Homo-oligomer: A and B are copies of this chain.
């Protein structure tokens, strides 16, 4: 079955109202509890230039990032490991150290963990968070601007170099090896932004998600994308790479212009929200929906 068919099947059968954002949410007393989970399959998700410790820390980051994208404060982490029989102690200890490092970075408690025997190494991680106000994908309104934190393009560039067997410059590899979730930015955006999403599958795909959920047209200026300088030096098509590069864990958000001066962190304005549907460039070209999975394959959110 195709990935899109699998997602459709589960959405049909489960009919959960809260699937479809970065994290699921439920009201608990006077605040929102957020929950997300995301599985890392070693064979497809961990290129060999990453260490087991980096992979362990990344499982924390990728889940915390989903909490951040909802404007939540991360409070807990949990995981399940599928371990092949011949796993060695050194690898396992490094993974554990990575998980510890990740949870210390975001100051979250490890709430639950279990291990199981499986044919291949799998780390399923998850995070919970809390929020007074949550940031959905569905709040973008015509007239607002579209922004993104940080720089783009490095993870896909690293992967492309790796697939070709070429040397990966340290600066390029770094974002793939040690990504950081935008927790502080997400908490601030909860007060000002109208929608947000984190870049796990690639900017183009995330823009399409906001466009579909908010029922708006998004128009981006390709020249305004914050492509990393080193990426521009290496790849021939930096804009396409910036649009498709996943596991960036940057936040894409829509916001009314009046709030831009209030934000305390750096970001780039990359486009605007209009009436209509779809994602286009300022020159009228349709931005392809494909993202990360087009290059790397494998992982799909059914919802959160």
Contact = CB atoms under 8 A, between A and B. Distances in A.
Interface of A: 1, 3, 5-7, 9-10, 12-19, 23-26, 28-31, 33, 35-39, 41, 43-44, 75-76, 78-83, 87-89, 92-93, 96-97, 99-100, 103, 109-120, 122, 124, 126, 128, 130, 297-304
Contacts of A297: 117
Contacts of A24: 76, 78, 109-112
B38 A80 contact: yes
A166 to B, nearest CB: 26
12 contacts: A9-B89, A9-B93, A13-B96, A13-B99, A13-B100, A14-B96, A14-B99, A24-B78, A28-B28, A39-B114, A113-B301, A114-B302
B111 A35 contact: yes
Contact of A35 (B17, B114, B128): B128
A116 B290 CA distance: 17
A302 B115 contact: yes
Contacts of A110: 14, 16, 18-19, 24, 303
B114 A1 contact: no
Nearest to A35: B111
A111 B32 CA distance: 12
Contacts of A33: 28, 33, 76, 128
Name the residue among A18, A99, A114 with the largest chain B CB count within 10 angstroms: A114
Contacts of A29: 28-31
Contacts of A23: 111-112
A288 to B, nearest CB: 22
A15 to B, nearest CB: 8
A299 B300 CA distance: 26
Given A16-B110, A24-B110, A28-B29, A7 B115 contact: yes
